Chain A
Amino acid sequence: MDSTRIITITSGKGGVGKTTTTANLGTALAMQGKKVAVLDADIGLRNLDAVMGLENRIVYDLVDVVEGQCRLKQALIKDKRQPELYLLPAAQTRDKNAVNSIQMEELCQQLRQDFDFVIIDSPAGIEQGFRNAIVGANEIIIVANPEMASVRDADRIIGLVEAAGKPEPRLILNRLRADMVKRGDMMAITDVLEVLNIDLVGIVPEDESIIIATNKGEPAVYDKRSRAGRAYLDTAQRLLGEEVPLDEVLDSPSLLERLRRLIRFGPALSEKPARSQSS
């Protein structure tokens, strides 16, 4: 499909919530009636299957497809609950260099034919695996936690995404703790946005329900009581171009208003002015 949106979820730093984000956004978009493929590009460290509860159904994987051992359709695993959601799992026993950028780009082109959304779970780091994950994407979402190392790596990624000629990435801030922000112990959303000079597309609070959901193999978006799950549902709505206000325990309404304006809805725009000129 011409309009297929291929969105890579990446971060630089490991363990900030890329896989969690991929599973939840993919599921949320499928719940909205979209045809979605989630793709685990973390070759050698297969994880997305388990977060989605599909680990027992894997026969073929991404490397098998790329190497022509099977057809794409044979490797795609249908989700348990969403009829239009499919997973392409990572290879577990292969080296992360088993795939090259050209192969990944071809794979994305193939996936285009059947899906509205392809969400790619990038490995941590800035090496070949990361480059493979972004090569076929037309949108990039960076996941960061509100702490030094994660924000620093996010900026590194912003630079690399720019250098790769991709549209400006957008940010999901994950594991925010409002209580810590209030005490001045954790950077607030506005601080992170100011430092990174990037548009926000979602905020996900620190939430135990994510761990519970992972343990059950059911993304948190199914759990009505999960704040993080709701945040992912909202984020998916924003990706679909809807204006969804932030649910955050940010006390000041003016701050909320300022943040609301920082959120860009719908597909990423490529014609945004260069970051050096924006302020």
Chain B
Amino acid sequence: MGVFEFMVGRKKPTPSELAKERLKVVLVHDRLKVSPELLELIKSELLSVLSRRLDIDEQHMQITMTREGGLDTLMANAPIKRQKVTFEWDPPSKDVIRGKVHVEEDQQ
């Protein structure tokens, strides 16, 4: 079970799974001593970078530090709002490729 499945409560974890996922997060925090404020800052910076290209569902974006495969890892879960992305090329020029990104909310 991955950390986000656990966080969004998609599965009902067993007590042992719960302990394991909680531990993976708490151990990284114990080691790195990352404050919640810093994590919040990283999250908002990530969001602003991602939002330049994609329409991220800010409400449901999650960021966490956890231990995966023996490595202390920053994990970000950034759901993208359902949308239609199209790209329109500008007439080809010598060495640059330009175009416009169109993003529409998907109707379904």
Contact surface of A with B, Cβ cutoff 8 Å: 147-148, 151-152, 155-156, 159, 181, 183-188, 191, 194-197, 275-276, 278-279
Contact = CB atoms under 8 A, between A and B. Distances in A.
Contacts of B19: 147-148, 151, 187, 191
Contacts of B16: 181, 184-188, 191
Contact of A152 (B27, B71, B72): B27
A173 to B, nearest CB: 14
B22 interface: yes
Contacts of A187: 16, 19-20
B15 A152 contact: no
B85 interface: no
For chain B, give the interface size range: 10 to 19
Query: Considering the complex of A and B, which 9 residue pairs feature the smallest CB-CB distances, nearest first?
Result: A184-B14, A197-B70, A279-B70, A191-B20, A187-B16, A279-B69, A155-B27, A185-B15, A184-B16
Contacts of B14: 183-185
A6 to B, nearest CB: 27
Interface in B58-103: 67, 69-72
Nearest to A147: B19
Contacts of A155: 27, 30-31
A275 B31 CA distance: 13
Given A156-B30, A194-B20, A195-B67, 6 more contacts: A184-B15, A191-B20, A194-B70, A195-B23, A197-B67, A278-B70
Nearest to B22: A148
Nearest to B66: A195
Interface string B11-42: 00011110110111011001100000000000
Contact of B70 (A152, A183, A275): A275
A72 B79 CA distance: 67
From DSSP, what is the main secondary structure of chain B's interface residues? helix
Nearest to A198: B70
Nearest to B17: A184
Contacts of A181: 16
Interface core residue of A148, A195, A276 (most chain B CB under 10 Å): A195
Contacts of A152: 23, 26-27, 30
B1 to A, nearest CB: 11
A155 B16 CA distance: 18
A253 B90 CA distance: 62
A98 B48 CA distance: 56
A181 B17 CA distance: 11
Contacts of B23: 148, 151-152, 195
A186 B30 contact: no
A188 B15 CA distance: 11
A279 to B, nearest CB: 4
B67 to A, nearest CB: 6
A278 B67 CA distance: 13
A195 B71 contact: no
Contacts of A278: 70
B4 to A, nearest CB: 17
